[in-house]
């Protein structure tokens, strides 16, 4: 069988193309509006060890060129995810990257044990931007040491592909990526949302019940693109870029900067078929220029 020009590898995972959803922006209902089998990978919403109701409303606020959310990882727990949702996602014959969020290293290990029993899960994205309750609520991804400890603990408990999702709310995201590689991560996702807030000037109160939330959308693309470029220059593992991608040109910018694959988030809310259009756009771009592989484009930035 001929190899598709769009095919990429994330560790042992073979993806038919570099496009996947960003965790939290994709669910079972997505299959009603797009052909999931055409995606490079499936990344469902993050799950925690135990069920969570999430934060109180209001939880989502639109802002200029972006969306600020504080959903609070509402989910029914890791075991429910494996028992009830994985069988649905299996039908699409597309690699499944489960997203784990936890509040201690031990919880990450226990979620990993649950995922280990599910053959259909090909990779685990570690949401290390969540608060580490063992260290006073500071997120794991804010510290080299805690990032290393999470990845190391998960690596010791699974043979599955592991991909820590890094926080952009740090002084130097490159050093976090490096320690994740040292802890034997197979790839890194760059990056999660920016801590933000929005105020109602009439009430003088925050528009989010949780006061602060995470900013995503087109506003953050140039910043994350810079981070992807910086990280890709230093690490030897694949970088998955995410942040503000709305069309195939955005995706190609990330790949040229050094990303092996990209994730699409809030753009799919406005246009549920965005990911499919991006795949088609990249295919067309490569065909018109006789580019035969994604690797030929990756890291091809000229500076």
List 118, 130, 144, 180, catalytic entry: 130
Q: Write the DSSP assignment of 94-136 as a string of letters.
A: S-EEEEEE-SSHHHHHHHHHHHHT-TTEEEEEEETTSB-GGGT
**Domain-wise residue ranges, the chain:** 8-297
Q: What is the pLDDT of residue 146?
A: 95
- For the chain, the helix, strand and coil percentages under 3-state DSSP, each to the nearest 5: 35, 20, 40
**59-97 pLDDT, tens per residue?**
999 999 999 999 999 999 999 999 999 999 999 999 999
CATH number of 8-297: 3.20.20.70
Q: What is the pLDDT of residue 226?
A: 98
**155-210 pLDDT, tens per residue?**
999 999 999 999 999 999 999 999 999 999 999 999 999 999 999 999 999 999 99
* CA-closest candidate to residue 129, choices 61, 200, 216: 216
Verify whether residue 118 is a known catalytic residue.
Answer: no
256 membership: H or E segment, kind and range:
helix 248-257
Task: Say how far apart CA 165 and CA 183 lie, in whole Å.
Answer: 14
Q: How confident is the model at residue 135 (pLDDT cuts 50, 70, 90)?
A: low
**226-264 pLDDT, tens per residue?**
999 999 999 999 999 999 999 999 999 999 999 999 999
């Amino acid at each position: 069988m001929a190899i598709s020009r769009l095919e990429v590898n994330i560790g042992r995972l073979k993806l038919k193309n570099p496009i996947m959803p960003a965790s939290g922006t994709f669910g079972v209902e997505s299959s009603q509006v797009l052909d999931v089998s055409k995606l490079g990978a499936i990344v469902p919403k993050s799950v925690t060890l135990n069920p969570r109701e999430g934060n109180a409303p209001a939880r989502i606020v639109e802002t200029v060129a972006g969306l600020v959310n504080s959903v609070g990882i509402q989910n029914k727990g890791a075991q429910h995810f494996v028992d009830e949702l994985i069988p649905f996602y299996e039908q699409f014959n597309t690699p499944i990257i489960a997203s784990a969020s936890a509040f201690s290293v031990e919880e990450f290990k226990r979620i990993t044990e649950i995922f280990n029993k599910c053959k259909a899960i090909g990779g685990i994205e570690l949401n290390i931007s969540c608060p580490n309750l063992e260290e006073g609520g500071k997120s794991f991804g804010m510290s080299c040491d805690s990032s290393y400890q999470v990845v190391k603990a998960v690596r010791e408990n699974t043979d599955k592909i592991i991909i820590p999702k890094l926080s952009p709310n740090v002084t130097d995201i490159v050093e976090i990526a490096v320690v994740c590689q040292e802890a034997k991560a197979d790839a890194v996702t760059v990056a999660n949302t920016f801590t933000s807030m929005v105020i109602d000037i009439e009430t003088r109160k925050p528009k989010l019940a949780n006061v602060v939330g995470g900013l995503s959308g087109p506003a953050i693309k140039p910043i994350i693109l810079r981070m992807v470029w910086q990280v890709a220059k230093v690490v030897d593992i694949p970088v998955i870029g995410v942040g503000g991608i709305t069309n195939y040109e955005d995706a190609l910018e990330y790949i040229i900067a050094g990303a092996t694959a990209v994730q699409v988030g809030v753009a799919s809310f406005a246009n549920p078929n965005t990911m499919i259009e991006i795949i088609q756009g990249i295919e067309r771009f490569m065909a018109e220029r006789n580019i035969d592989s994604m690797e030929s484009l990756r890291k091809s930035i000229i500076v």
